[in-house]
């Protein structure tokens, strides 16, 4: 199953989950230390929507919430 918006092409992006331990310096500690970094994925907020395509036919599309809010989706 594809996780890509059919209108703007927005898809998954990658980043890091950073785990920090320790007490902050302004609270009297020696500062926060990074104890673990793991990869993670940021997924787009996709919805299955009935919409008109460019040629006028009605069908289901996977569209991100940003495209719905901007009015790029024409509902039948």
As averages over each run of 10 residues, the pLDDT of the chain (76 residues) reads 91 97 95 96 97 90 96 91
Exposure string over 19-57, b if 16+ CB within 10 A, otherwise e: eeeeeeeeeeeeeeeeeeeeeeeeebebeeeebeeeeee
Model pLDDT, residue 1: 61
Please give the C-alpha separations between residue 25 and each of 22, 33, 37, 38, in angstroms, as whole numbers: 9, 11, 22, 25
């Amino acid at each position: 199953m594809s996780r890509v918006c059919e209108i703007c092409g927005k898809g998954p992006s990658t980043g890091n989950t950073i785990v920090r331990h320790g007490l902050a310096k302004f609270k009297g500690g020696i500062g926060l230390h990074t104890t673990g970094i793991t990869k993670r994925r940021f997924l787009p907020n996709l919805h299955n929507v009935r919409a008109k395509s460019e040629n006028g036919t009605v069908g289901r599309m996977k569209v991100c919430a940003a495209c719905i809010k901007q009015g790029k989706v024409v509902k039948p």
